[in-house]
Structure 1
């Protein structure tokens, strides 16, 4: 695979089609996004970090709501030239999205769009935009002396996108994994497999930056538990500044009447504290804090998929998280299969 692979540097954004952009905007304002640019039928959202946008909400007037794909940054313009030679890819073109730069588009084996960007103009984050670092007193060390902990009420302070996941028919997982690993500098961090068939069910992929650390996963690939004739996003996940902000945002979303999907808890793989919600269109989005980072010295694991792999603490995985259906929210939790979503119910 070597150096001929396109060298990704970060996940930039995910892109969804929404039937009601006004309602989508109402949710994402409560979720903690800030508008980077608003066009007639499209809104680019950002966090407080350096990326000029982290989520694209586009209004769809005909056809169903849909997950479109993801945007990634690459190391050099030469990487775009390499990508443009991949069958089905576009030529290198100038971008008109926030931050400009140049881009190449392609689709993965499931028809999910991949946009690669280089030359992006990063934001110069103003000091007043950056949240204050949280200082915690433990039983042994109490560095916060005479200073009180008063978290701000309101939406979570979203920093950046952390990862997204794709769910597909199990027969498509090996081909899809091979495609991503062959073309990009993505490598597995953890793999979960079905003990009955020995087949991989879920693969967490991180960007290989050598000795430099990157998020535990920027993409995960998930085999549905049963036949599935489409591929879509399982969810998109966004990092917030700290746990207090995450919980304050949880309360804010609850008070605003939005529907929770699953949480709050701490994942086993990736370690992040998670909080999943349904947006106004019924897509699943996640707030997270305190996630793991890995590098080329981190040993990959391959483990049996069990409920114990889902979380170290928190509520049992909800039925809504497994089906992807907002109508299943607030129903009794299930404790059986370790997270593979039934294929009969579309999530997008």
Structure 2
């Protein structure tokens, strides 16, 4: 196999790109967003949503009869907005532009208008929809909330390197204080079209591609995508996209200080009767230490710490997709995390598979066989 200059060989993926494969970035994007700003949901029970959020580690910045705004400890805008609705649903994502001029440029390029955001957030937004039907806002000029007190990372005695003497290590069982929103993972029946839309319109770039074993020639089926901040490093992925039989939210991830915060915070969640989906472990793509939970509405949310940061110089890596390939160490991926546990969600995906195979999209019988092979790997 020829190794192309500038690839990730021996860094974080099994293989570099082959000639002619997807470059992982657009040659001339409309704008380059700086970060994921917030996620929006609808839920029928805001009290239950806030109770879980508090135990999970969010702080409430605004609560009304119709809306709930949640934030992390970092300065900035709220990172989760929940509105009262008849059914629980993921509404969409907001990305932060580098400046107001970028919002105006994107609006002009797409033929959309700019609107003011609510007084609770401030700033302006342009409303778009990706090819999978997911609403996407690009925003700027929001009110900046002041930084809150954060959990300080512990001092560790690693091997013979001593950082702590005459003091003990006693992390309390308390919420793992969320610092910020890290990433969101979405599933799409039009994966490649949707991927190219984000690269073209928002200037995101791919860190890693995954493909179904034996189907690399058909192209990738998952991508971990980061913001292009030039020489300034950004998270390994701010958005992850994966091919599947339905267009849906998969999970979102929130940074906390360290492994002790994740572990002690997990004990706190368990003590309050909440359900772990998978963890604790360390991922391969992105390297994050992770712990996944189900909120009362069934949404999957993740605590993470110690993730990779890349600048704009690294080209995409390539690796085969497998369930075992999701983790360096930790328990195997659970049926709940993979969406295979018996229940409403698994039944919905089964019905979606039948519908997708009959429809005009990228999820065909060969892709279905690949997905089933991954699920059983």
TM-score normalised by the chain length of structure 2: 0.81
Question: Do structure 1's residue 71 and structure 2's residue 91 form an aligned pair?
Answer: no
Distance 2:119 2:89 in 1: 20
Conservation of the 8 A alpha-carbon contact between 1:19 and 1:281: no
Q: Is the 8 A contact 2:122 2:141 kept in 1?
A: yes
Structure with greater Cα Rg: 2
Consecutive unaligned residues of structure 1, counting only runs of 5 or more, are 330-335, 341-348
Q: Could you tell me whether the CA contact under 8 Å between 2:225 and 2:239 is conserved in 1?
A: yes
Q: Is the 8 A contact 2:29 2:199 kept in 1?
A: no
User: Distance between the aligned counterparts of 1:328 and 1:317, measured in 2?
Assistant: 19
Gap change, CA 1:294 and 1:23, over 3 Å in 2: same
1:45 matched to 2:70:
yes
- Aligned equivalents of 2:62 and 2:106: distance in 1? 27
Match of 1:205 among 194, 217, 225: 225
Q: Distance in 2 between matches of 1:7 and 1:248?
A: 37
Greater strand fraction, Structure 1 or Structure 2: 1
2:123 pairs with one of 101, 123, 143 = 101
Shift of 1:339: 5.6
> How far did residue 296 of structure 1 move?
1.5
CA-to-partner distance for each residue in 1:182-230, whole Å, 9 max, x for gaps?
1112000000001232231110000011110000000000112xxx2x4
Q: 1:155 aligns with which of 175, 191, 198?
A: 175
- How far 1:21 sits from its partner (Å)? 1.6
Q: CA RMSD, aligned part only? A: 2.0
For the Cα contact (< 8 Å) 1:319–1:328, is it kept in 2?
no
Question: Equivalent residues in 2 for 1:1-348 (5 A)?
Answer: 1-2=26-27, 4-61=29-86, 64-87=87-110, 89=112, 91-96=113-118, 98-126=120-148, 129-169=149-189, 172-198=190-216, 199-224=219-244, 228=245, 230-323=246-339, 327=343, 337-338=373-374
Q: Are the equivalent residues in 2 in contact too, given 1:46–1:54 (CA < 8 A)? A: yes
Q: Which residue pairs with 2:354 in the alignment?
A: none
- The match for 1:344 is none
Q: Is the 8 A contact 1:102 1:119 kept in 2?
A: yes
Report the count of equivalent residues: 323
The superposition leaves residues 90-121 of structure 1 with CA deviations (integer Å, 9 ceiling, x where unpaired) of x2222115441111111111111111111123
Deviations, residues 214-255 of structure 1 (Å, cap 9, x unaligned): 00000000112xxx2x41111011001111111111001111
In structure 2, the CA distance between the partners of 1:218 and 1:196, relative to structure 1 (3 Å rule), is same
